[in-house]
Chains A and B, each alone.
Chain A
Amino acid sequence: MTTTVEAGTPPVGKSPSGSARGARHRTGRIHRVGLPYLLLLPALLLELLVHLVPMVIGIVMSFKELTHFYIRDWGAAPWSALANYEVSVDFDAPVGEALLHSFLVTVAFTLLSVGLCWLIGTAAAVFMQDTFRGRGLLRALFLVPYALPVYAAVITWVFMFQHDNGLVNHVLHDQLGLTDKRSFWLIGDNSFIALLTVSVWKGWPFAFLIVMAGLQNIPRELYEAAALDGAGVWQQIRRITLPFLRPVNQVLVLVLFLWTFNDFNTPFVLFGRTAPEAADLISVHIYQASFVTWNFGTGSAMSVLLLLFLLLVTGGYLRLTSRGRRAAP
């Protein structure tokens, strides 16, 4: 430990004790100016390499006619100005129409999934705020879907949604008789419900976790004072718990929104490379537009449009909620 620390300290700090004061002074200045940047350097380099530079390249690619003819040497692909964007947003032609459809499906899916995840997570956290017997066990159990690797969780749902040997049809049709015949869950219109179910099952524990952490910061005295004033439990939840969770919710909802909107893993494992139309989430749609049809220019243009949309929504959301937050207290 000591040696690492010594080695990590800039040499100036190790100057002989005679000029220690002056050296310390100088070290302090160097640290104030240079050290923070030095500490940030690894993160900065990696973010540049893996996120920022690829993003710039992606944007450049969106202005190129990058089909499979040019994939070996993409620099040689001809510039196509805005052609890729025109194709993407021409909603009367098949490509644009499919993109718009996929976008709308994703919006509906995200709103429902985030809403349900937030609702279930918050309700569970609030109900489990007081201690009761078995609370610790229940809490651990509730976190299991979140802890499971995505593919392991989703593949289990794939099995449950199977037409002939799945649990869902067995319960709904064989045991409860709710459907006339066994339904298909992973193709056709039902696939939207299947996707939503899996997404909520997997996602709500995250909301639960965050809200649970947020609840611990609410001072106990507030509840005691409210109880003395005669406020019931429901009133306490409405007047104390929920207002206190506002800042937590501001971030939580945004993070859930971004993760759900960009989710690739769940639909990809659930449906494979080509998702059914009713559950054609935008990430998989773009993946297919790029890798299955080998048209990377158009795929990139679609990704850029998606990014612009997310930036817009995030910016608007933060403005809106921050203003409300400042006005609230």
Chain B
Amino acid sequence: MRTPLAPPRSFQWSRRIFLTLLTGFVLVPVYVMVSSSLKPLADVTGTFRWLPTELTIRPYIDIWSTVPLARYFVNSLVVAGAATVCSVVIAVFSAYAVSRYDFRGKRVFTLTVLSTQMFPGILFLLPLFLIYVNIGNATGIALFGSRGGLILTYLTFSLPFSIWMLIGYFDSVPRDLDEAALVDGCGPLGALFRVVVPAAVPGIIAVAVYAFMTAWGEVLFASVMTNDTTRTLAVGLQGYSTLNDVYWNQIMAASLVVSVPVVAGFLLLQRYLVAGLTAGAVK
């Protein structure tokens, strides 16, 4: 409905061709994942077939016994869930401070936090490993190899982007609202939780989705900082291919199973993500 006139044919045809090709590009791997997860092993070891010779749900049963997938799943849920909650709460506090107060070092803070985004993970992987081991030796708090250490690490990964996005979002909530709350006798934290946070729910949901996805998909730190009991899905999934046989049907089934929660959640909440980005980050 951009123009009163219908767009010209050249535009309509370009759009049709472009979007069709793009849909194909996006869909093919998704199709391979879904269809292969329903194939018997023979179908995935021989030449690729578009259609399975027979449909079977065997892979979905076998994935749980080939590797301890359930344990990895729980680990990932705990780690990503806790990292998300902490990250969002901390980001809300920080963004509120930056958005509503003038204080010395404000610019330095936002710049420093944002610049951590550009650090190559590889630069602080080993030092962080050493810090965690040393904290463990000194205080007995096991960070290395534990879920706690991973939660701590992951929540800082999503923090910079979350803070940045929430600052933009909080800035778009009219100041009059929280000033009215302050006049009514709320403290600054009251104003934050009763006025600003409720008005910024889409932005907060967007940030939560981002934080969860970041933690759920991380591979590098998970592969160094976990052991057999704390292993997350990102590392655990590789267990299917280090065996003598590569069970591609099981790998695809497991990939699908671990993807469904995030993809479903993301698609349900993407509306908020777009709204959050529109009001916050891209403004």
Is B174 located at the chain interface by the 8 A CB criterion?
no
A61 adjacent to chain B (CB < 8 Å): yes
A220 to chain B, nearest CB (A): 8
Q: For the side of the interface on A, what is the size category?
A: 35 or more
Distance in angstroms from A26 CB to nearest chain B CB is 13
- The docked-state distance in angstroms from the alpha carbon of A27 to that of B190 is 14
Could you tell me which residues of chain A, from 36 to 54, have a CB within 8 Å of some CB in chain B?
A: 36-37, 39-40, 42-44, 46-47, 49-54
- A255: nearest residue on chain B (CB-CB)? B117
Q: Which of B44, B118, B213, B255 contacts A258 (CB 8 A)?
A: B118
Tell whether, in the assembled complex, residue B113 and residue A74 are in contact, meaning their CB atoms are under 8 Å apart.
Answer: no
A49 and B48 contact, Cβ closer than 8 Å, known pairs A152-B255, A307-B119: no
CA distance A233 to B220 in the complex (A): 45
Q: Judging by beta carbons under 8 Å apart, are B116 and A51 in contact? A: yes
B200 at the A/B interface (Cβ < 8 Å)? no
Give CA–CA (A8, B101) in the complex, Å. Answer: 18
Contact of A167 among B32, B152, B262 (CB under 8 A): B32
Does B121 count as interface, using CB distance less than 8 angstroms? yes
Cβ < 8 Å to B, chain A residues 96-147: 120, 123-124, 127-131, 138-147
Task: Check: B201 CB closer than 8 A to any chain A CB.
Answer: no
User: Considering the chains assembled together, what is the distance between the CA atoms of A223 and B126 in angstroms?
Assistant: 53
The answer to whether A49 and B96 touch across the interface, beta carbons within 8 angstroms, is: no
Whether B138 sits at the interface, judged by CB under 8 Å, is no
Flag if A201 contacts B120 (CB, 8 Å): no
- Report whether B282 and A61 are in contact in the complex, using a CB–CB cutoff of 8 Å: no
Mark B133-147 against chain A: 1 for CB-CB distance below 8 A, else 0: 000000000000000
Contact of B118 among A13, A40, A314 (CB under 8 A): A314
Closest to B160 in A: A47
Are B126 and A43 within 8 A (Cβ)? Answer: no
Q: A156 and B33: CB pair below 8 A?
A: yes
- Contact: B259 with A212, CB < 8 Å? no
Most A CB contacts (10 A, CB to CB) among B19, B36, B120 go to B120
Report the Cα distance A131→B7, complex, angstroms.
12
Whether A153 and B29, one on each chain, are in contact in the complex, defined by CB atoms closer than 8 angstroms, is: yes
B22 at interface, CB cutoff 8 A: yes
Are B96 and A156 in touch, CB under 8 angstroms? no
- Cα(A8)–Cα(B109), bound, Å: 23
Q: Please judge, given known A-B contacts A58-B126, A141-B26, whether A165 and B267 are in contact too, CB under 8 Å.
A: no
Q: Nearest chain A CB to B21's CB is how many angstroms away?
A: 10
Q: Restricting to A158-193, which residues have a CB under 8 Å from any CB of B?
A: 159-160, 162, 164-167, 169-170, 174
What is the size, in residues, of chain B's interface with A at 8 Å between Cβ atoms? 103
The reply to whether B109 and A44 form a contact with Cβ atoms under 8 Å apart is yes
* Interface pair B120/A227, CB less than 8 Å apart: no
Chain B residues 166-222 with CB under 8 Å of chain A are 186-190, 193-194, 213, 216-220
Interface pair B155/A54, CB less than 8 Å apart: no
Once the chains bind, are B19 and A213 in contact (CB under 8 Å)?
no
Verify if B77 is at the interface (C-beta below 8 Å from A): no
> Is A130 in contact with B233, judged by CB distance below 8 angstroms?
no
Picked from B97, B224, B258, the residue with its CB within 8 Å of the CB of A152 is B258
- Known interface pairs A8-B187, A165-B248, A217-B283; A40-B97 also in contact (CB < 8 Å): yes
- Is A300 a contact partner of B193 (Cβ separation < 8 A)? no
- Establish whether residues A141 and B27, one from each chain, have CB atoms under 8 Å apart when the complex forms: yes
A248 CA to B274 CA, complexed, in Å = 14
Q: Does A80 contact B (CB under 8 A)?
A: no
Say yes or no: A53 contacts B131, CB within 8 Å: yes
Is the C-beta of A271 less than 8 angstroms from some C-beta in chain B? no
Contact of B282 among A141, A151, A213, A264 (CB under 8 A): A213
Q: Are B3 and A149 in contact, CB atoms less than 8 angstroms apart?
A: no
Shortest CB–CB separation between residue B138 and chain A, in angstroms?
14
A46–B11 touching, CB < 8 Å: no
Known: A58-B124, A149-B217. A144 touches B189 (CB 8 A): no
How long is the Cα–Cα vector from A275 to B117 in the complex, in angstroms? 24
Which of B4, B44, B116, B190 makes the CB contact (< 8 A) with A165? B44
Complex CA–CA separation, A27 to B187 (angstroms): 9
Contact B3 A233 (CB under 8 A): yes
**Are A152 and B126 interface neighbours, CB within 8 A?**
no
Minimum C-beta distance from A28 to chain B (A): 9
A43's partner among B29, B94, B234, B278 (CB-CB below 8 A) is B94
User: Chain A contacts of B15 at CB under 8 A?
Assistant: 127
Residues of A bordering B, CB below 8 Å: 1, 4-5, 8-10, 13, 27, 31-33, 35-37, 39-40, 42-44, 46-47, 49-55, 57-58, 61, 74, 120, 123-124, 127-131, 138-153, 155-157, 159-160, 162, 164-167, 169-170, 174, 201, 209-210, 212-214, 216-217, 220, 223-224, 227, 232-234, 236, 247-248, 251, 255, 258, 262, 264-265, 268-269, 282-283, 286-287, 290-291, 296, 299-300, 303-304, 306-307, 310-311, 314
List 17 additional contacts besides A40-B98, A164-B46; criterion CB under 8 Å: A31-B187, A35-B101, A40-B109, A43-B91, A44-B109, A46-B90, A46-B152, A47-B159, A49-B156, A131-B1, A143-B270, A144-B30, A212-B274, A214-B278, A283-B122, A303-B120, A307-B118
Q: Which 10 residue pairs across A and B have the least CB separation, nearest first?
A: A54-B124, A213-B277, A303-B123, A54-B127, A57-B127, A147-B266, A39-B97, A152-B255, A9-B187, A170-B48
Write 12 A-B pairs (CB below 8 A) sorted by A numbering. A4-B193, A8-B187, A47-B116, A53-B131, A149-B213, A149-B262, A165-B47, A214-B282, A227-B3, A227-B4, A265-B220, A268-B220
